[in-house]
């Protein structure tokens, strides 16, 4: 079975910028676009190894959970570990498995040991919701501006 592909031609319009500027009403300022400098230090492209702390107040006490950010590759592993395919090619994704996989990789020092999917699933709901807040969404709708 052969497939045919058609090449699509795009119509390109060339506009003389001087003429375009002359047509704009006088007195209107055109906002300047901040030029972003070219990167010169590739080490900033990697995930920070800095350990962060999440403090949770529960039962009148402060509990400290130390963690590190997921790398892009670690996040993808968590996503892979959270999906299954059945014999008919049906796809299933478990958000609870994703969060558990991410938290077991992210948490470095906690008041709970060991950090496993089982221990995470047994936590008070309010603790779990605060821990989930540090985990990146499996599919991010908007990529944040990475300036700074």
Cβ atoms of 117 and 104 closer than 8 Å: yes
Q: Which helix (H) or strand (E) is 38 found in, with range? A: none
Cβ atoms of 51 and 43 closer than 8 Å: no
Per-residue pLDDT of 86-137, as tens digits, reads 888 888 999 999 999 999 999 999 999 999 999 999 999 999 999 999 999 9
* Position 4 confidence tier, pLDDT thresholds 50, 70, 90: very low
- Nearest Cα neighbor of 134 from 120, 147, 148, 114 is 120
Cβ atoms of 69 and 52 closer than 8 Å: yes
């Amino acid at each position: 079975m052969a497939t045919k592909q058609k090449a699509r031609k795009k119509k390109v319009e060339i506009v003389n910028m001087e003429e375009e500027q002359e047509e704009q009403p006088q007195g209107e300022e055109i906002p300047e676009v901040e030029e972003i400098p070219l990167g010169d230090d590739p080490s900033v492209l990697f995930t920070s190894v800095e350990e962060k702390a999440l403090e949770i107040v529960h039962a009148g006490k402060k509990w400290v959970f130390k963690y590190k950010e997921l790398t892009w590759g670690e996040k993808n592993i968590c996503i892979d570990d959270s999906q299954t395919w059945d014999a008919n090619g049906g796809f299933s994704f478990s958000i609870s498995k994703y969060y558990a996989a991410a938290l077991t990789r992210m948490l470095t020092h906690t008041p709970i040991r060991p950090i496993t999917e089982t221990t995470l699933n047994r936590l008070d709901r309010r603790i779990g919701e605060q821990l989930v807040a540090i985990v990146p969404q499996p599919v991010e709708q908007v990529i944040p501006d990475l300036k700074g």
